[in-house]
Structure 1
Amino acid sequence: MMVAVCILIIIIILLAIYIVFMELQLKNINKQLDKRLQDKTRQPISLALQSRKLNTLGANINRCLKAEETLRLKSVNEEKRVKELIANISHDLRTPLTAIKGYQQLMEKSELNDNQRNKLEIAQKHTQELGKLIEYFFEYSYLINTDPELKLESINITKMVTECLVSSIPSLEERNLKLKFEETPPIYVYVDKEMVKRIIQNLIRNCIQHSSGDIEVKVLKKKDAVISFRNPVEDSKKIEVNRIFERFYTGDKARNNSTGLGLSIVKILVDQIGGSVEATLVDDKLDIQVKFPLG
């Protein structure tokens, strides 16, 4: 009887030691995985304990990590090719567009009858639209291929929004759009002035191009400075608001004549200066809010 008890105790002790070693090895695996995530290394998982099941687990983990790394590198290379393609397209399109504008200017100076002049004006209008699209491509390709040097300073964001809205009045009148904007007391933010100006201009252009009614603009002071652009949209059910800042997203019919880059540019610029941007769609009205750190 005593012999059986001793054997049982020995077995229990051995099992306890084995379990402790197993826990230590699992802890070691977790530690190595954490190190890979924190240091962004490609070091494979290594095991010190000779256990067939743990060795199989480690081998499977390493295979998964290698497959994930392969997919990541493939994605990075694909993203790089897309960026290069956008940059090349935007550059290549500028040259023939300049030539087209030159010939149109020459035609404008020549003697044309009313019908010919009307057709020329239509061609010039479409040329201007094409120029705007190319500028979007050029700006986007520049932003995704460069690391900007921020020139941070304290600026009156209320004043900047007001100035940008005033300069856009002709475009608003052309689309028969009314603007609702209540000027608030000065709100100061600590940002890059030129980048914020481009953000506001892109948001205004987005509203003018896609709004189906009056545009509401607000500048608020909460934990951050908030700029809100709100406008009604057609076919709101076709807009996937969670994708609205994605590159080339043109989900609704109202965006068919755009590149889908305007709001993508806004997102990139906002991220670069440490702000945030979000969009909501309520009662067929799209509300885009940009937040900047107070200065």
Structure 2
Amino acid sequence: MVYCLLCAAVVIILLCVKIYLLKKSAREISAQFADRLKNDTNNTIYVSSGDKDIRSLAESLDSQLSVLRREKLSCIQGNRELKNAVTNISHDLRTPLTAIRGYLDLAEKTDDPQKLRRYISVISQRTDAMQQLTEELFSYSVIISKDEPGDTEEIYINQLLAECISSYYPVLTESGISPDIDLTEEKVIRTANRSELSRVFSNLLTNAAKYSSGDLEIRLTADGVITFANTADNMTSVQAAQLFDRFYTVETARSSTGLGLSIARTLAERAGGSLTAELTEGRLVMTMKI
């Protein structure tokens, strides 16, 4: 009887110790979790308990904290980009509007037909710039609001790329560019949305026409790697790294909305590929893997 009572007492004591340690660990986790939420730190939650369930709980909370940190950074970056976007859009809208208002005033005060034609020509150019900006903004908002591509089909990449180059050939030649084209003869077939993939190629060609110093190499390999390479004497590596940022424009191309390459990357990734840019020895190389 005494032996049974002693065993029961030992068990009760051990259970009390276990409960005490568990409560201590819970307080440690609670305090550290609150601290990690309040302070920007990558420190993990430490628990003195050796209990595997308690340690598993701490690891799970660490994992969730990591997700929260990434989302927080994403929100901060998004807010920063939004502020920059509002500033850029305000500037891009205000500049042509100011010019239009000014030339309208001049047009009202002159009877000279030659001056009047010149004023109307400038007003027309500024109006076109505003139309381009609003269309790009609308297009971008539609694209980012979709999580999945539209109707997909098997696409002969060689043919689609050749068609896009052909349609842009007049634009390239007007910029003094005679593209050097090398498309593999082996068929490259991918399942994607035709119009979205065509938009990617068009935006890359438009970018080349803006920034090329007179040359352009377009390559398509059998494994689906597409490169657009051109000399870009006036571009820096910092500018090249920012080309895909929303609303970013190189200073020499302020007529651009800064959305074209951002749209291209979004659509390339939606098609299961990737799009990167690199400045190497004065040459801008856009690489798309599809």
Q: Provide TM-score, normalisation by structure 1.
A: 0.64
Counterpart position of 2:258: 260
Whether the aligned pair in 2 keeps the contact of 1:160 and 1:197 (CA below 8 Å) is yes
Whether the aligned pair in 1 keeps the contact of 2:219 and 2:228 (CA below 8 Å) is yes
CA distance in 1, matches of 2:168, 2:194: 18
Q: Provide TM-score, normalisation by structure 2.
A: 0.65
How far 1:286 moved relative to its partner?
0.7
CA distance in 2, matches of 1:196, 1:128: 26
Amino acid corresponding to residue 156 of structure 2 in structure 1: N
Residue 56 (structure 1) aligned with residue 37 (structure 2): no
Whether the aligned pair in 1 keeps the contact of 2:183 and 2:221 (CA below 8 Å) is no
Counterpart position of 1:179: 179
Whether the aligned pair in 2 keeps the contact of 1:172 and 1:208 (CA below 8 Å) is yes
Amino acid corresponding to residue 147 of structure 1 in structure 2: D
Residue 270 (structure 1) aligned with residue 243 (structure 2): no
Whether the aligned pair in 1 keeps the contact of 2:129 and 2:255 (CA below 8 Å) is no
Counterpart position of 1:130: 130
Counterpart position of 1:246: 245
CA distance in 2, matches of 1:226, 1:137: 29
Whether the aligned pair in 1 keeps the contact of 2:276 and 2:287 (CA below 8 Å) is yes
How far 1:235 moved relative to its partner?
2.9
Whether the aligned pair in 2 keeps the contact of 1:235 and 1:253 (CA below 8 Å) is no
Change (3 A) 1:74 1:155: closer
CA distance in 2, matches of 1:289, 1:267: 11
Whether the aligned pair in 2 keeps the contact of 1:150 and 1:273 (CA below 8 Å) is no
CA distance in 2, matches of 1:194, 1:258: 22
Correspondence 1:145-160 to 2 at 5 A: 145-160=145-160
Q: CA RMSD, aligned part only? A: 3.8
How far 1:238 moved relative to its partner?
5.6
CA distance in 2, matches of 1:158, 1:129: 33
Structure 1: gaps (5+ residues): 1-16, 22-46
User: CA deviation digits over 1:118-142, x for unaligned, max 9?
Assistant: 4433332333233222222111111
Correspondence 1:102-113 to 2 at 5 A: 113=113
CA distance in 1, matches of 2:112, 2:184: 51
CA distance in 2, matches of 1:284, 1:77: 33
User: CA deviation digits over 1:163-186, x for unaligned, max 9?
Assistant: 111111222232222222134324
Correspondence 1:30-179 to 2 at 5 A: 49-51=22-24, 55-65=27-37, 69=68, 72=71, 76=75, 79=78, 82=82, 113-179=113-179
Whether the aligned pair in 1 keeps the contact of 2:228 and 2:286 (CA below 8 Å) is yes
Residue 206 (structure 1) aligned with residue 211 (structure 2): no
User: CA deviation digits over 1:40-65, x for unaligned, max 9?
Assistant: xxxxxxx971337x733541223324
Change (3 A) 1:284 1:291: same
Using the aligned pairs only, state the percent identity: 29
CA distance in 2, matches of 1:71, 1:187: 37
The count of corresponding residues between Structure 1 and Structure 2 is 228
Deviates more, 1:63-72 or 1:227-236: 63-72
How far 1:112 moved relative to its partner?
8.5
CA distance in 1, matches of 2:73, 2:183: 49
